Each structure stands twice: as C-alpha cells, then as structure tokens.
Amino acid sequence: MLNATLNERHFRRLSEFIENEVGIKMPATKRVMLEGRLRKRLRALGMSSFDEYVEHVFSRDDGEIVHMIDVVTTNKTDFFREPDHFRYLQEQLIPRHLPEGWGLNEPFKVWSAASSTGEEAYTLAIVLNEVAQNRRDFRYRILGTDISTAVLHTAQKAVYPAARVRPVDARLQKKYFLRSRDRDAELVRVRPELRRNVVFHRLNLMTPEFPIADRFHVIFCRNVIIYFDRPRQEAILSRLYSFLVPGGYLFLGHSESMAGLNLPLVSVAPTVYQRRKNTNREA
Ligand SMILES: C[S@@+](CC[C@H](N)C(=O)[O-])C[C@H]1O[C@@H](n2cnc3c(N)ncnc32)[C@H](O)[C@@H]1O
C-alpha cells in the first residue's frame, strides 16, 4: 500500500504545468484527485514518494509527461453521445449543403477535435456512411485528434467491449461492428469500411499552430473546453474557427457555449454554430 502524499509545493508545480501545457484548470480542490491518479504512476514506476516523481517528470527525459497527461485527462465518451447532434448532421446539415456540392466535389471533412477513445469519430463515420449509401457519389473523411496517447491507441484499434455499443441502434450495430470470434471475449470491432475513412493523430489543442493543412465542413469539439478557463477557451475556439470552410459548422458539448466570445459564428441549433459564408478571417 502506497501512502505517498502530494504536498502543496509539488501540487503547485504540477498543476501550473498542467494548466499551461494541457489547458485543464487545476484549482486546489483537485489536489486529492491528482494525488490519487498519480499514485498509479508512482506504483508503475516503483517510486515511493512524490519528491522522486516530480523530479522525474521535470527531468530532461520528459517521456513521463505523456503518461501524466494520460492520467489527468477525463476521457468519458460514448457512441451517439448527445444524439441530437448526429440527427442534426444527417437530417438538416448535409441535405442543406449537398446542392452546393459538399461531399460530392470533394470529400465531406469532419474533425473530432478531442476524440478520446474514438466513439465520437466512429459515430460520425456511421452517420456519414448511411448518407453515402443513399448518395453513391458522397464521400467523407474524418480526422480524430486528442492529447492523450492512451486513448488514441484504443481509437486506432477500434476494438470495444460489446456493452459500449449499446447506444447504437440494433440495425446499425449489425451493419458496422464485427463480433469477436472468441464469444467469451465479448468484444466488437468497427468494420474496415468505416475505419478506412477515419485517421487519428495526437494534437494538443493548446498548441498555437495546428499542423493541419485541411479545412473542415464540420468540427466537433465537445466536452473538452469545459475544463479550460475562458481566455483559453476563446483562443482554442478562435483557432478552430479558422479551420472551418466558409459556412462550416462547429459543434460544442451541451454544457459548453460560445456566449460572449467575439467570433463570426452564428448559433443555428443548441450548441451548433455556423461560420458566416462571407468571412475570410483567419484567426
Ligand atoms: C470528456 S472527453 C470528450 C470526448 C468526446 N469529444 C465526447 O464528447 O464524448 C475529453 C477529451 O479531451 C482530451 N483533451 C483534454 N485536454 C486536451 C488538449 N489540451 N488537447 C487535446 N485534447 C485534450 C482528453 O484527453 C479527453 O480524451
């Protein structure tokens, strides 16, 4: 049993680093949570004190930082989480823009900007694949990014416990997931026809320049900025805005909002915002 405690000084050092690098707010009330989560790292490294651990984090070999980020991020997600968004995409947004050639002249491009373990990106793939089955010339590409390497690994494998796909309609489950041959394993894998349209990369939303050449018709940035303070939220959303095509859409989580932010986006549905068509502003 490991009894190491995270003292005030160490907490301040780590929390400042996490706030500045990852963006996640770390008020003093999070000390116990941070201590609990980091104990797992101490155990994995065979360390018995936070003195030793904090030294290790800030040593020249910063490989531990990636692990620390993995344990401090909250990765909760689901297939078809906040289902209104997917209905809006399929029933309103795409039909509205098909006549302009979205998805026809060039692939319909979507970015899941805090993709966690991949459920959001694969839900988008299911919805877009359904569109493609009714419009044979419709093509799509999905980019999933996250700061945590652990969640990206799961997203890339696309293997989930069968219970995770329960929110997916039974017809779509059958169509888009393969059951593991080992019946006892109770695992499913996303089918290759969806996987080949989805790529995942590591990206920290706090980096001032995103190394991404594409512009997107739709960006999902859901349930992540809630962990950031207002100036950081504004900086990130402003950067994401510049990656939308004119008329493109930004989806936030249901408890997040653009209220008070000075960006040329108009609200078109709850937590769905559209970039005005006649703006060329680069953030
Ligand atoms: C609660 S999950 C949300 C997943 C998905 N968007 C959803 O709504 O279901 C938040 C994700 O944001 C990621 N995250 C936190 N800080 C980040 C940052 N600075 N850059 C990129 N991703 C970040 C976390 O690793 C985590 O996977």
What residue owns the CA closest to ligand 1's atom 26? 75
Question: Where are the extended beta strands (E) located within 129-254?
Answer: 140-146, 159-161, 177-179, 187-190, 198-202, 216-221, 244-252
Point out the least confidently predicted range of 179-183, 209-213, 261-265. Answer: 179-183
What's the pTM?
Answer: 0.94
Q: Is the pLDDT of residue 282 over 80?
A: no
Average of per-residue pLDDT across 231-243: 95
What CATH architecture applies to the domain 8-72? Orthogonal Bundle (1.10)
146 an active-site residue? yes
Point out the least confidently predicted range of 102-111, 128-137, 270-279. Answer: 270-279
What residue owns the CA closest to ligand 1's atom 9? 77
pLDDT-derived band at 6, boundaries 50, 70, 90: very high
| CA 101 to ligand 1 centroid distance, Å | 31
Q: Rounded to an integer, what distance in angstroms lies between the CA atom of residue 78 and that of residue 265?
A: 27
Report the pLDDT value the prediction gives residue 184, as an integer from 0 to 100.
80
Residues of the chain with CATH 1.10.155.10: 8-72
Tens digits of residue pLDDT in 35-54: 999 999 999 999 999 999 99
Residues of the chain with CATH 3.40.50.150: 83-275
Tens digits of residue pLDDT in 78-118: 999 999 999 999 999 999 999 999 999 999 999 999 999 99
| CA 146 to ligand 1 centroid distance, Å | 6
Domain 83-275 fold is Rossmann fold (3.40.50)
